Amino acid sequence: MRVSVVGTGYVGLVSGACLADVGHACTCVDIDGAKVANINAGKPPIHEAGLEEILRRNLAVRLAATTDLRAAVHATELTLIAVGTPFDGAQIDLRYVRQAAHEIGVALKDKPGYHVVVVKSTVVPGTTDDVVLPILEQASGKRAGADFGVGMNPEFLTEGVAVRDFMRPDRIVLGGIDERTIDTLASLYEPFRGVPVIRTNNKTAEMIKYASNATLATLISFSNEIGNLCAALGEVDVADVLAGVHLAHYFTSVLEDGRRVEAPITSFLAAGCGYGGSCLPKDVKALSAYGMSRGEPMALLDAVTRINQAQPTRIVRLLRDRLKQLAGARISVLGLAFKPETDDVRESPALTIIRTLVEHGAVVKAYDPVAKQTARAALAEVEVRFVDDLNAALQDVDAVVLATRWEEFRRVPALLASSPDAPLLVDGRRLLEPRSYRRYAGIGRS
Ligand code: NAD
């Protein structure tokens, strides 16, 4: 199938590259000419395991990038919209979706034949039918259902393992205004055999995506709230508590042969300094704002956001309590990305921690295996020294904060053991064994 993808961010580029890899002819479109040039040169503008190999394998064969949206739409049968949908402080900001829909509509005006336009961006229920569809009709002068189809296909990939997630999806949700749209969309996913497929309307598809993200965010904030109480109790460690909770059969299946298989969700549920990234924070807020606008205030989700926003301050408080004062304290923050295996620092709790520490007069060093450039750009106005390796990050400091679960950081206790200063180690992700280092302090324990 010939497919165009509008937006070459984490979702658009990974989708486009992977769809090419399974045999479709794919054109990726972006307004950012530098991104397009990098993609065409085989250099992914984002850090994702396996993406570079897929680009190299498919470029000039079945994959190309361009800034020419019109040509891309004309050369294809189906167009995915994968542009950003930020939260503007009050509600979801649909300006990029509207713009993309308008340009696609204009391109469809003189394109002969049937075309399908599919929203892949995360959008609040009703957006595809009530915002995108009318824009397409108006800009093209054509009729949805007769001249073109309009669908919604949410993306569930996780940054860091995006290629793996796209290639081995756990579910495929196909929304559409009619059977013809859904059938066309289904043929795009035909190579992904054996994966459960949900065929539904656009509004349900949109809601499935939000409910999925809200489930995860809620469980994370729940674990953090329990952790905060554990820390106040004394002699209770949230890691032991959650281990006990997660052994329940609804989290850990016991197989016929007695083996136990823990649900993957439990790996997200260590207490920590909060969730971040470009999805969970904005999606929970957008769903909540949407609920309010529909006369259904979402008290639980509002609390989920509040708890999450306060988690980084728990780390700062821990440091202040142990170091006595932050002004002049030399503190190293390990991990800047919002999760391991990515360079994405959007809404990363590490950045909030750094900003707060610097505001309190601390002298901050920062290290991340891959997110140095993105973090430097995000913290341009903040006085931080970025270092290139873990050893440099651990030298001459009063405290070390672990803010991202990078595997490399498991070495920290051993590296610190030989340090003459024995700095305080604050484990903001509960990655390490508390007994592994004598000046260990972890979130969720007294
Ligand atoms: P992103 O910000 O990384 O990328 C968006 C891209 O769209 C940018 O490269 C931008 O230049 C481009 N763009 C904007 N307007 C355009 C236009 N008119 N024409 C062409 N290109 C245009 O975004 P992302 O992280 O890939 O997220 C995209 C959508 O997918 C969002 O709705 C997000 O919520 C959703 N989503 C993201 C993830 C994730 O892990 N990042 C996972 C699932 C769903």
| In a domain? residue 107 | yes
Position 326 scores a pLDDT of 98
Cα three-residue angle 269-154-97, rounded to 5 degrees: 115
Is the domain of 294 the same as that of 169?
A: no
- Is there a domain that residue 423 lies in? yes
83 lines ligand 1 (CB under 6 A): yes
Place of tokens 């969720």: 444
Q: Return d(Cα 351, Cα 373) in angstroms, integer.
A: 13
Is there an atom of ligand 1 within 6 Å of 427 CB? no
Q: Answer yes or no: do 189 and 338 share one domain.
A: no
| Residue 373 forms part of a structural domain | yes
> Chain centroid to CA 426: how far?
25
**Could you give the residue numbers annotated as active site?**
279
Nearest CA, atom 12, ligand 1: 7
Mutate-to-test residue for ligand 1 from 31, 83, 159, 284, highest number of ligand atoms within 8 A of CB? 83
- The answer to whether position 413 is within a domain reads yes
Ligand 1 center–CA 127 separation, angstroms: 16
- What are the distances in angstroms from CA 66 to CA 21, 40, 80, 96? 18, 8, 15, 17
Do both 185 and 279 map to the same domain? no
The structural domain count of the chain equals 2
Looking at the structure, do residues 166 and 22 belong to the same domain, yes or no? yes
Ligand 1 centroid, distance to 104 Cα (angstroms): 16
Does residue 47 lie in a domain region?
yes
The enclosing domain of 430 has a CATH number of 3.40.50.720
Residue 143, classified by CB atoms within 10 Å of its CB into exposed (0-12), middle (13-18) or buried (19+), is exposed
Are both 189 and 294 inside the same structural domain? no
Residue 123 alpha carbon, nearest atom of ligand 1: 32
Domain shared by 300 and 161, yes or no: no
CA of 4 to the centre of ligand 1 (A): 14
Regarding the beta carbon of 368 and ligand 1, being less than 6 Å apart is answered: no
Query: What's the gap in Å between 130 CA and the centre of ligand 1?
Result: 20
- The atom of ligand 1 lying closest to the CA of 46 is 3
pTM: 0.93
Going by alpha carbons, the residue nearest to atom 13 of ligand 1 is 7
Ligand 1 center to 30 CA (angstroms): 10
Ligand 1 atom with the smallest distance to the CA of 159 is 40
Helical axes 299-323 vs 349-359, angle rounded to 10°: 50
Is the CB of 100 inside a 6 Å radius of any atom of ligand 1?
yes
Give residue 398 CA to ligand 1 midpoint distance, Å.
Answer: 40
Q: Are 231 and 238 in contact (CB under 8 A)?
A: yes
CB of 8 sitting under 6 A from ligand 1: yes
Q: Would you tell me how many other CB atoms lie within 10 Å of the CB of residue 38?
A: 17
**What's the CA-to-centroid distance between 35 and ligand 1, angstroms?**
13
Does residue 434 form part of some domain? yes
Task: Give 84 Cα–ligand 1 centroid separation in angstroms.
Answer: 3
- Alpha-carbon span 259 to 76, nearest angstrom: 49
Q: According to the model, what pLDDT value does residue 277 have?
A: 94
Q: Is 73 in the pocket of ligand 1 (CB under 6 A)?
A: no
Are residues 158 and 297 both part of a single domain? Answer: no
Other Cβ atoms less than 10 A from the Cβ of 10: the count is 27
Closest approach atom of ligand 1 to CA 122? 32
Domain of 430, in residue numbers: 272-442
**Claim to verify: residue 124 and residue 7 sit in the same structural domain:** yes
Query: Ligand 1 atom closest to Cα of 85?
Result: 32
Tell the residue nearest (CA) to atom 29 of ligand 1. 121
Boundary (domain end) residue, out of 161, 184, 200 = 200
Instruction: Report how far residue 233's alpha carbon sits from residue 240's, in angstroms, rounded to the nearest whole number.
Output: 14
How would you write the pLDDT of the chain (446 residues) with one tens digit per residue? Answer: 999 999 999 999 999 999 999 999 999 999 999 999 999 999 999 989 999 999 999 999 999 999 999 999 999 999 999 999 999 999 999 999 999 999 999 999 999 999 999 999 999 999 999 999 999 999 999 999 999 999 999 999 998 899 999 999 999 999 999 999 999 999 999 999 999 999 999 999 999 999 999 999 999 999 999 999 999 999 999 999 999 999 999 999 999 999 999 998 898 888 999 999 989 999 999 999 999 999 999 999 999 999 999 999 999 999 999 999 999 999 999 999 999 989 999 999 999 999 999 999 999 999 999 999 999 999 999 999 999 999 999 999 999 999 999 999 999 999 998 888 899 999 999 999 999 999 999 999 98
The reply to whether ligand 1 has any atom less than 6 angstroms from the CB of 157 is yes
Tokens describing residue 359: 């505001």
Q: Are 188 and 311 part of one and the same domain?
A: no
Spatial distance between the Cα atoms of 245 and 242, rounded to a whole number of angstroms: 5
Supply the pLDDT for residue 267: 84
Rounded distance, CA 444 to CA 356, Å? 20
Are residues 309 and 423 both part of a single domain? yes
Query: Is residue 333 one of the residues assigned to a domain?
Result: yes
Half-sphere exposure of 161 (CA within 13 A, CB side): 8
Domain boundary among 183, 200, 217: 200
From its phi and psi, is residue 258 left (phi > 0), alpha (psi between -120 and 50) or beta?
Answer: left
Point out the domain boundary residue: 157, 184, 200: 200
Query: How far, in Å, are 14, 63, 152, 176 from residue 118 at the CA level?
Result: 16, 19, 5, 8
Nearest atom, ligand 1, residue 10 CA:
26
Our mutation pick for probing the ligand 1 site, out of 5, 8, 10, counting the most ligand atoms within 8 A of Cβ, is: 10
**Ligand 1: which atom is nearest the Cα of residue 32?**
11
Q: Are residues 173 and 305 in the same domain?
A: no
Strands 2-6 and 424-427, by their bridges, are unpaired
Cα(11) to centroid(ligand 1), Å: 6
Verify whether ligand 1 is closer than 6 Å to residue 27 (CB atom): no
Whole-number Å distance between alpha carbons of 222 and 303:
10
4 Cβ closer than 6 Å to some ligand 1 atom: no
Residue 250 in any domain: the answer is no
Q: Is 12 in the pocket of ligand 1 (CB under 6 A)?
A: yes
Residue 188 to residue 434: CA distance in whole angstroms: 49
Do 297 and 186 lie in one domain? The reply is: no
365 beta partners:
332, 385
